[in-house]
């Protein structure tokens, strides 16, 4: 049974579907959504036509007027478009958005006269419905703003596709978090005794990252160490070594050749990338077994990893930014304070969720109001305990309020990445509200709104694989 998409459990409109129907959820399998994890695998054996009258075409080279000679489906066999369809620019855009890389077409282009026809694959009423939902979510923002306007367009398209495919919208999956079960009146949860050091040291073994992290860091900073020496140190941790090789060979790096030795991997990706992976894997080794009754861990890590991927991509477009790798780690860790809070102060956080809902506040504002501090401060404190670099601490601390961080570019990149991740409904760290966008951050980065589409395409392309490698199957 599937509820009809409308508003979320706070009465707010919700956006495009990233949550699979709940099969597998009970087993703890990653609930990564269907958006963008598709690769079209032509089913040669089932083809009715012969190869000589068909051609395989890269989506990048597809042109309006080509006729699909095979159904386009996702990896799981989910139908996207049927054979015989004459494609338009809109189809091509949708292929790219959904990560489709190749299509089968007739050898000779035909049906050009049909190309001008409006795309009939998504009914008009579904598009209208998607627009209503997205407009409501963007109510605190002006669509006149070029960045917001472009993001709005992308969100409408994704939401329409989700609705069209009858996917469950995130907020309709009531198993997603316990927020929907919040009582009418806030539970009695006195914030008085909660302190940041208390939260961080309480129960969780957060004092240090695993030894291998510090050993690798030291080796990377030691000019006398060769890549082979560093590889030797990393290889003392076999599971870390295996993870590095898997990631290097994944869509996260998209290298042309397969790499099978650690030294070669390091030579290709460099030590900055190495530290990204080692930090990510080390952090996950601490938090992997975390659980919460009020926040879905799958959703949380999907949000965090998604934010990291977006931040890394965005940074690569920002003039003058070097080493865009570190933005991945910053995205991965930006909401780590929230995770600690929901784990160690669940009752107080239930109250925070309630306040945010009642007063229509961003969650971090509700945290401040109820506890006197927010998750960015908890995250910063943890980063300090771990001796993480200052720039990383700033990115964690100011990811909601970059103006407090002297408008430096680093926090602004994470601010924008987090805004995008939230608006695109890529996982959730508990925050459903799309706040009013601080356009100053975007302007400071000297970015054009046209970078949004390629960034989102890359998110689609990398999220599932990166999520599985870093978070794994639980
Ligand atoms: Fe946050
Ligand atoms: Fe976030």
Region 271-295 average pLDDT: 85
pLDDT in tens, 162-195: 888 766 554 444 333 444 444 445 555 565 578 8
Q: Please, what CATH class does the domain formed by 44-115 belong to? A: alpha beta
Mean pLDDT of 330-351: 93
Tell me what the mean pLDDT of segment 29-34 comes to.
34
Global pTM? Answer: 0.71
pLDDT of residue 109 exceeding 50, the answer is no
Q: Which ligand number lies closest to the CA of residue 416?
A: 2
What does each C-alpha distance from 32 to 14, 37, 143, 334, 466 come to in angstroms? Answer: 17, 9, 29, 20, 11
Distance 396 CA to ligand 2 centre (A): 10
The average confidence (pLDDT) of the chain is: 77
- pLDDT class for 376, splitting at 50, 70, 90? very high
Please give the pLDDT value at position 97.
Answer: 55
Question: What is the distance in A from the centroid of ligand 2 to the CA of 301?
Answer: 10
Which 3 state secondary structure label does DSSP give 144?
coil
68, 105 Cβ separation under 8 angstroms: yes
Q: Where in the chain is the domain with CATH 3.90.105.10?
A: 44-115
Using the mean position of ligand 2's atoms as its centre, give its distance from the Cα of residue 332 in Å.
9
Residue 174: the pLDDT is 38
What would the pLDDT profile of 414-439 be if each residue is shown by its tens digit?
A: 999 999 999 999 999 999 889 999 99
Note whether 344 and 204 are within 8 A (CB). Answer: yes
The pLDDT value recorded for residue 373 is: 95
Backbone angles phi, psi at 7, to 5 degrees: -120, 165
- 136 vs 285, residue with greater confidence: 136
pLDDT tens-digit readout, 289-338: 788 888 999 999 999 999 999 999 999 899 888 778 889 999 999 999 99
Contacts of 411 (CB under 8 A, 6+ apart): 394, 395, 397, 398, 399, 402, 405
Chain region(s) in the chain for CATH 1.10.3210.10: 178-470
Return d(Cα 50, Cα 104) in angstroms, integer.
11
**Percentage of the chain modeled with pLDDT above 70:** 74
Find the ligand nearest to 365 CA.
1
Q: Has residue 440 got a pLDDT over 80?
A: yes
Biggest CA-to-CA distance, the chain = 75
Quick one: CA dihedral 8, 12, 17, 19, positive or negative?
negative
Ligand (nearest to CA of 419)? 2
- CATH of segment(s) 178-470: 1.10.3210.10
Measured CA to CA in angstroms, residue 42 lies from 83, 93, 324 at distances of 12, 19, 35
Tokens of 202: 């309480």
* Ligand closest to the CA atom of residue 423: 2
435 Cα–ligand 2 center, Å = 12
């Amino acid at each position: 049974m599937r509820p009809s998409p409308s508003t979320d459990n706070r009465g707010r409109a919700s956006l495009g579907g990233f949550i699979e129907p709940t099969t597998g959820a009970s087993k703890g399998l990653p609930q990564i959504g269907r958006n963008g994890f598709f690769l079209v695998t032509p089913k040669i054996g089932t083809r009715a036509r012969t190869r000589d009258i068909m051609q395989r075409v890269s989506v990048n080279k597809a042109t309006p007027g080509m006729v699909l000679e095979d159904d386009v489906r996702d990896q799981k066999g989910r139908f996207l478009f049927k054979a015989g369809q004459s494609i338009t620019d809109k189809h091509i855009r949708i292929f790219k958005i959904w990560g489709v890389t190749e299509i089968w077409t007739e050898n000779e282009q035909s049906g050009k006269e049909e190309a001008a026809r409006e795309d009939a694959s998504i009914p008009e009423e579904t598009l209208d419905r998607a627009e209503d939902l997205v407009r409501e979510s963007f109510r605190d923002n002006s669509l006149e703003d070029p960045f917001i306007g472009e993001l709005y367009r992308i969100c409408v398209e994704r939401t329409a596709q989700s609705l069209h495919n009858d996917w469950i919208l995130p907020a309709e999956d009531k198993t997603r978090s316990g927020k929907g079960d919040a009582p009418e009146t806030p539970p009695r949860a006195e914030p008085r005794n909660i302190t940041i050091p208390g939260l961080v040291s309480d129960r969780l073994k957060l004092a240090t990252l695993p030894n291998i992290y510090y050993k690798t860091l030291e080796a990377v900073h030691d000019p006398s160490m060769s890549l082979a020496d560093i590889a030797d140190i990393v290889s003392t941790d076999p599971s870390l070594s295996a993870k590095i090789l898997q990631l290097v060979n994944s869509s996260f790096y998209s290298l042309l050749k397969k790499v099978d030795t650690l030294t070669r991997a390091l030579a290709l990706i460099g030590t900055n990338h190495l530290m990204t992976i080692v930090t990510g894997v080390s952090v996950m080794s601490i938090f992997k077994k975390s659980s919460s009754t009020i926040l879905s861990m799958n959703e949380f890590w999907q949000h965090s990893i998604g934010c990291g991927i977006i931040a890394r991509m965005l940074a690569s477009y920002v003039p003058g930014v070097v080493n865009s790798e570190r933005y991945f780690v910053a995205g991965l860790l930006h909401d780590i304070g929230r995770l600690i809070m929901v784990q160690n102060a669940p009752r107080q956080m239930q109250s925070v969720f309630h306040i945010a809902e009642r007063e229509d506040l961003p969650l971090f504002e509700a945290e401040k109001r109820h506890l006197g501090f927010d998750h960015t401060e908890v995250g910063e404190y943890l980063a300090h305990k771990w001796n993480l670099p200052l720039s990383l601490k700033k990115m964690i601390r100011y990811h909601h309020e970059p103006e407090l961080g002297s408008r430096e570019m680093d926090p602004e990149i994470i601010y924008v990445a987090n805004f995008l991740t939230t608006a695109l409904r890529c996982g959730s760290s508990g925050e459903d509200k799309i706040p009013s966008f601080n356009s100053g951050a975007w302007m400071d980065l000297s970015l054009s709104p046209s970078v949004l589409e390629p960034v989102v395409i890359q998110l689609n392309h990398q999220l599932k694989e990166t999520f599985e490698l870093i978070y794994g199957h639980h």
